[in-house]
Chains A and B, each alone.
Chain A
């Protein structure tokens, strides 16, 4: 499966590496080359240096044949715009967007974008934990969890 990931922060690097190790064809885009250092040596995909809001950069990353596009830059608006470029201009079948602002995550979720609001996700896990619930297994920082 061809996956294009925009952004190479911690989350993106982790996702990219896991997918690459699992055998998928992954391209990661970032305009800052030093960010690619986050990718482990197990990453066998393509590193694309450039501005991901530019259609040419997206093409270089192979968006035209991509099954999935994931926008995980630090900027909500950047993620929202590029996800819509992926969906509307390039017709990528599956598009996922990280949006930190809950209000925007909700609005754009209602407009048809599959948004992942890290704020809401983490806050709800924390709330559960604080209220005496179990600490979620998936978040245990044990080597087995990776």
Chain B
């Protein structure tokens, strides 16, 4: 697999290092000469100095034979342009973008970026989880379509607590696939009564996440 990483900051550097160690062909593109000169002795000749937003740099990097392009700079606009160029102009099959402003995730998805990673959102969710407000934690986004896997913890005051699954008014395009109760993971049927402290794993349309949260366990702030 040939992976191109755009952005030689901490994220890009460790990503390139890890991929290279696993035996993949990887190229790191970084526009700042100070950074690339610092990194080259450690990573070797897998770093290309240049602006990944420039089509000429992409050509030199051999982007049209790349299996995946990951844009992980600190700027969303750069990451968007890199991925859009890679996909639309050079036909790269998989594009992955780091998104710093969570609001931009929707934009990126609608513009055809295959995968977005918002570390802000992930860490925010982990913080919220610690606070047990019943927030929906995204586990995974499926590559096709708008579906994601989420986990939500039911609290004693959640509207869904002590209700049968069949009686809960789930939004469309949503399925509860597992109930985690204590040490057990249960595949539920409609008759199962949801108890406080149950964690529900659901597969749903990303656009229904808010609706889902309202029905199962609204966070205290909402």
Residue total for B at the interface (Cβ-Cβ under 8 A):
21
- A84 surroundings in chain B (CB, below 8 A): 80, 107, 111
Chain A 74-100, CB within 8 Å of chain B: the 1/0 string? Answer: 011110111011001100000000000
Question: Using Cβ atoms and an 8 Å threshold, which residues of chain A touch B85?
Answer: 104, 107
Contact present for B81 and A80 (CB under 8 Å): yes
With A88-B111, A107-B55 known to touch, is A75 a contact of B88 (CB < 8 Å)?
A: no
For window 90-135 of B, CB contacts with A under 8 Å fall at 101, 103-104, 106-107, 110-111
Among the stretches B41-49, B70-78, B140-148, B185-193, the one at the interface with A is B70-78
Are A54 and B103 neighbours in the complex by a CB distance under 8 Å? yes
Interface residues of B in 31-90 (CB under 8 A from A): 53-56, 75-78, 80-81, 84-85, 88-89
A35 within 8 A of B: no
Option from A82, A88, A104 in Cβ contact (under 8 Å) with B55 = A104
Chain B residues proximal to chain A, CB less than 8 Å = 53-56, 75-78, 80-81, 84-85, 88-89, 101, 103-104, 106-107, 110-111
Q: Are B76 and A53 in contact (CB under 8 A)?
A: yes
- Measured between C-beta atoms, what is the minimum distance from A26 to chain B in Å? 24
> How many residues of A sit at the interface, in one of the four size bands?
20 to 34
Say yes or no: is A101 at the interface (Cβ < 8 Å to chain B): yes
List 10 interface pairs A-B (beta carbons < 8 Å), by A numbering.
A53-B104, A76-B53, A77-B77, A77-B78, A77-B80, A81-B76, A81-B81, A81-B104, A103-B55, A107-B88
Please, how many angstroms separate the alpha-carbon atoms of A89 and B110 in the complex?
Answer: 9
* Shortest distance from the beta carbon of B176 to any chain A beta carbon, whole Å: 31
Q: How far is the CA of A58 from the CA of B166 in the complex (A)?
A: 43
Which chain B residues lie closer than 8 Å to A81 at the CB level? 76-77, 80-81, 104, 107
